[in-house]
Structure 1
């Protein structure tokens, strides 16, 4: 064993007392460190608490001053706003009375949506008649369907009005308006319930009528023992084909009354079934619009193809015709496709293979605008409440005949569909006065990525479509009608400009809070006759309770006013910050009011306004005119700020409008501003741009 290296000695082992002392010292050091940490935390907590106290104190002072300023401004505006609302209520009452009188002269057979007792009685009466009626009288059956459709159209427009009614700030005039309308608080929900009930009555009525026809189908056989019927009543087209021959060589079923051709698979050609086709076109034909869980909507109507079970055949005995009365005598039984084999449960059986598709060729209404590219046909998937495109192929459109054709493996409600967000989000929009000095009209131009901008001119009571000049829209061009009626008519033709919150995700936007958006539309409508208004690049960057818009004052009325589309484009493209054609940015800040924001489109980054998260931020709020809230654009544009020394600065002079322009805004027709605000709100300019 080699010797141990020199200089190295064995380490002396610590005694128990030494180890105990070391442990005690370590614990003492840890205790002192913990006490120091707690003292530091307490000091930091006290410091933060002091800062929070200072912040809350400053914020309270700031909000108190802001509230006092807004109260003064609102008291100044109150006479004007009350006068505006009084005139609007008086006009609404007159319009309502005129509409009721005109409806009376037309002898409309169904109650108006406001007549709640009569509506309830009508729905009960129609529901009971469906259960009891077994008539095969075609005109009678479809007359009741047309009555329901008339009521659907009126209910749908009442629902739109309930959603986009722009009301005033309260007071006796607004309370009087509520009494005149005589509508319950949950008015929209009641109207939605009415729509579901009316569509249900129509479907049940047609099913009952179809069952009665099939129960006596032998009476409709022709010389070749073929049973095929068709009927057209207004926007309802109905056809039935009964497979009596069971000919495997039969390939095509034509329904000339409907203009529909079906290429049927061999499985259907050999089956003991009836084939029913319904084509519903025109306004309100898409009963699934409000229920669709995805972003599709039907355009050009809905084609419903059903396979129906046949009731037991009639027997002739000694001059008597004997018919077996089964449940099929009063209601239809749909047969799934592919047809289940004998003995299989039709509710649970599923085919392991894809069934052969059925070919369908059907006409489109001449006023449908086809914006979806490529064209897409879908079937209504009732369990999932969506328009489903699976199983639909070979979609083609022939413009020379205006026919669409496709193949489908699903027999269900079928429709040519378009995304509800096809025109969203708006790439830009602007509003320009069109009535000259003291005029009461303005044009809203929407850039939706089409060859032509969509231009809607708004006046005191109505809106008019000015562009695009497509052949399908000729019946709407230049025709004055209520703005919601116009937007609904455009939607019925495939130009959907009535977005809802459920469309926000598909459009790639965040919807603004309703009070913010409605208040912003009402604010800017006051300027619609005297200012140019335009969308803001930073509107979506702002929070959901903030809405931004750009505006430019029209100051050269004596020269005709630079209000043509080319002038508007040039002004907002250049975005001058000084001079007569300067561009300003206003922001609606929730329910409080409006403020200026230094957020021109050419800014490289969004210049956020000071917040209230720290003492420094609260102080910054009181040191800049940007973000200072005022009750209305009419008070904001006076350029009178609470920031010390701001009113004498060059910035204040740049931001304020001419006294003459503000007086013109105050004397603008309140009916025009209400119509403009309602149109802007229905278009959802601030949520979808």
Structure 2
């Protein structure tokens, strides 16, 4: 047997005392390490606390100096701004009085939206009428509906003005007024619907009196913007035709119903044609036809009106007995009962029954108003999904449009309010915008040009009190082009035609932008409007990169008035494309910094990265705030453009000279019509130029 290899001897086992000593030493080392760590942490905490104390001290000194400077500038501008405010308020009151007098001369049958007592009395009276009126007089019923619609239009405009008011301070009273107007609109639509339901029930209760020689009941009535029709088939063997399937859709037997009063044609599936139900069709067109606009939870809006298709239960039929006509009076004599589609089988609960198969679609052909702008490609029809409060496109197929006849056709498996829809954000975000003076030296007009990705830019010329559409020159907009009207009226009229330029905060996610804080955006519009008659203004590519409480724009002073001023569209494009930083046509970038004021920024569009202004997160950052002209806040653009900066060495800094405006330009801005600047500010705010560009 080979010998075992030599190896180490057996390790001596440590004694209990040795193990205890090792444990004690390890604990001591850990204790010392922990004490050292705590001492280091405390030293770091004290160092950071000292830095924070220094930062807060420097920041307080910086902010105190800033507040003092802003207070001085506001005191200097106070008389001018008070004069502006006085003239604007006086003009607004005069306009309100003129509008009330013009309304009185037109003998408007409904109260004005601001007459709260009269409005409440009117709504109470209309509600009682819609619940109690049993008349079958279509003229009388639709006269009530037109009165309510007139009031909807006036209330809608008052609400729009409240939301976009830049004269004076809103406060709690303004908020209460806004909520009251919104409530009025909802109630007026409810009254219209209840009134139509009421007289529809009265007609159906006597439907036997309207049967024609084919034992078919078909009624239609047109009153202003309301079109109403009812079709009831009482024939045992209705004449059906076979519809050929389109694009994979199965064909089926249908009943073609033409409603000449409504100019609507329906391909009614066999299931409806043979059922004991009435088919009601309403076509509501014109402004404010989309009653769902304010509560729609997705991005769609109706254009060209709303077509409402309902299936209604028929009341028990009348019986003739010895010359008497006996009618059973049920709940259907005073109100309608809607029947779901697909129609539930006998004995099924209509509230819970659900079909396992897709019902056969109904074909619809209806006209579009001639002034509707079709911007959505491809065209999309949707139905109003009341439970989800959205326009829903599911179940809509074969949408087509005939430009020769201006008719739209589609198939739908949902009988509900139907509409040609367009995204509210179709024109958003703005690819760019600019404002250029159009009235010459001392003029009081400017043109706002919006690049929305269309073939032609949208150009709105603003003057004192009014705005005018200059472009595009599409046939659908001919009735608006060249017509001076209040800016909010013009923007609402464009929206009614499908050119929606009244975005709201709810549109920001769909448009892919961050909405600016309301106070910041409003203040920026008021600031820049002061320059609207003297400077060229333009959007900034970095505006969305800035924080929600910051708004950015570019400007360039017009200095060659003797030569007519370089204020034509081609001049504006060239100046803001070249972005010269020196010379007479230099371009400057200004930023609104929340509620404090405005400052210059180095954020020209040609910068490769966004040059952020110094922050206040560290001692070094606070020091930097007081050492750079960029970011130094002033009370107004009128103060900012004087070039009187307080940073050390500003008097000898070439940058300060480059950033200031001419004395003549500032004087022209100070003497610009306050009515013009207020109108321009309101238009810019309504367009939401800083939230959606």
Q: Secondary structure at the match of 2:293?
A: coil
Q: Which residue of 2 aligns with 1:196?
A: 186
1:271 aligns with 2:275: yes
Contact 1:364–1:402 under 8 Å retained in 2: yes
Q: Which residue of 1 aligns with 2:111?
A: 111
Contact 1:247–1:269 under 8 Å retained in 2: no
1:176-221 superposed Cα distances (whole Å, 9 cap, x missing partner)? xx9xxx9654111110100000000000000001000000011111
- How far apart, CA to CA, are the structure 2 residues paired with 1:3 and 1:16? 36
Contact 1:241–1:274 under 8 Å retained in 2: yes
Runs of 4+ in 1 over 2 A off after TM superposition: 1-7, 182-185, 246-250
TM-score (normalised: structure 2)? 0.97
Q: 2:639 aligns with which of 632, 635, 644?
A: 635
- How far apart, CA to CA, are the structure 2 residues paired with 1:164 and 1:11? 90
Q: Which residue of 1 aligns with 2:423?
A: 419
Q: Which residue of 2 aligns with 1:158?
A: 158
1:78 aligns with 2:57: no
- How far apart, CA to CA, are the structure 2 residues paired with 1:426 and 1:131? 47
Q: Which residue of 2 aligns with 1:409?
A: 413
Q: 1:216 aligns with which of 163, 184, 206?
A: 206
Shift in Å, 1:249: 3.3
Contact 1:520–1:547 under 8 Å retained in 2: yes
Q: Secondary structure at the match of 1:547?
A: strand
Q: Secondary structure at the match of 2:294?
A: coil
1:400 aligns with 2:404: yes
Q: Secondary structure at the match of 1:395?
A: strand
Contact 1:552–1:582 under 8 Å retained in 2: yes
CA RMSD of aligned residues (A): 1.1
- How far apart, CA to CA, are the structure 1 residues paired with 2:460 and 2:193? 36
Q: 1:657 aligns with which of 637, 650, 661?
A: 661
CA 472–300 in structure 1, closer or farther in 2 if over 3 Å, else same: same
- How far apart, CA to CA, are the structure 2 residues paired with 1:641 and 1:303? 62
Q: Which residue of 2 aligns with 1:370?
A: 374
Shift in Å, 1:246: 4.3
Q: Which residue of 2 aligns with 1:234?
A: 224
1:507-542 superposed Cα distances (whole Å, 9 cap, x missing partner)? 000000000000000000000000000000000000
Structure 1 stretch displaced more, 599-608 or 4-13: 4-13
Shift in Å, 1:222: 1.7
Residues 27-106 of structure 1 aligned to structure 2 (within 5 Å): 27-106=27-106
Shift in Å, 1:6: 2.6
Contact 2:88–2:167 under 8 Å retained in 1: no
Shift in Å, 1:5: 3.2
- How far apart, CA to CA, are the structure 2 residues paired with 1:581 and 1:109? 56
Contact 2:162–2:174 under 8 Å retained in 1: no
1:303-337 superposed Cα distances (whole Å, 9 cap, x missing partner)? 00001010000011111110000000000001100
- How far apart, CA to CA, are the structure 1 residues paired with 2:236 and 2:382? 29
Q: Which residue of 2 aligns with 1:205?
A: 195
TM-score (normalised: structure 1)? 0.98
Q: Which residue of 1 aligns with 2:136?
A: 136
Q: Which residue of 2 aligns with 1:126?
A: 126
Unaligned runs of 5+ in 1: none
Q: Which residue of 1 aligns with 2:440?
A: 436
1:553-578 superposed Cα distances (whole Å, 9 cap, x missing partner)? 00000000000000000000000000
Structure 1 stretch displaced more, 242-251 or 650-659: 242-251
Q: Which residue of 2 aligns with 1:507?
A: 511
Contact 1:114–1:183 under 8 Å retained in 2: no
Contact 1:246–1:271 under 8 Å retained in 2: no
Q: Which residue of 2 aligns with 1:340?
A: 344
Q: 1:330 aligns with which of 323, 331, 334?
A: 334
Contact 2:299–2:425 under 8 Å retained in 1: yes
Contact 1:248–1:266 under 8 Å retained in 2: no
Contact 1:423–1:448 under 8 Å retained in 2: yes
Shift in Å, 1:685: 0.1
CA 317–345 in structure 1, closer or farther in 2 if over 3 Å, else same: same
Contact 2:280–2:312 under 8 Å retained in 1: yes
Q: Secondary structure at the match of 1:572?
A: helix
Q: 1:484 aligns with which of 477, 485, 488?
A: 488
1:605 aligns with 2:595: no
Residues 664-683 of structure 1 aligned to structure 2 (within 5 Å): 664-683=668-687
- How far apart, CA to CA, are the structure 1 residues paired with 2:233 and 2:181? 41
1:411-469 superposed Cα distances (whole Å, 9 cap, x missing partner)? 00000000000000000000000000000000000000000000000000100000000
- How far apart, CA to CA, are the structure 2 residues paired with 1:185 and 1:416? 33
Shift in Å, 1:7: 5.0
Q: 2:456 aligns with which of 426, 439, 452?
A: 452
- How far apart, CA to CA, are the structure 2 residues paired with 1:196 and 1:595? 43
CA 99–13 in structure 1, closer or farther in 2 if over 3 Å, else same: same
1:467 aligns with 2:471: yes
Q: How many residues align?
A: 679
Q: Secondary structure at the match of 1:290?
A: helix
Q: Which residue of 2 aligns with 1:618?
A: 622
1:452-507 superposed Cα distances (whole Å, 9 cap, x missing partner)? 00000000010000000000000000000000000000000000000000000000
CA 185–420 in structure 1, closer or farther in 2 if over 3 Å, else same: closer
- How far apart, CA to CA, are the structure 1 residues paired with 2:219 and 2:21? 108
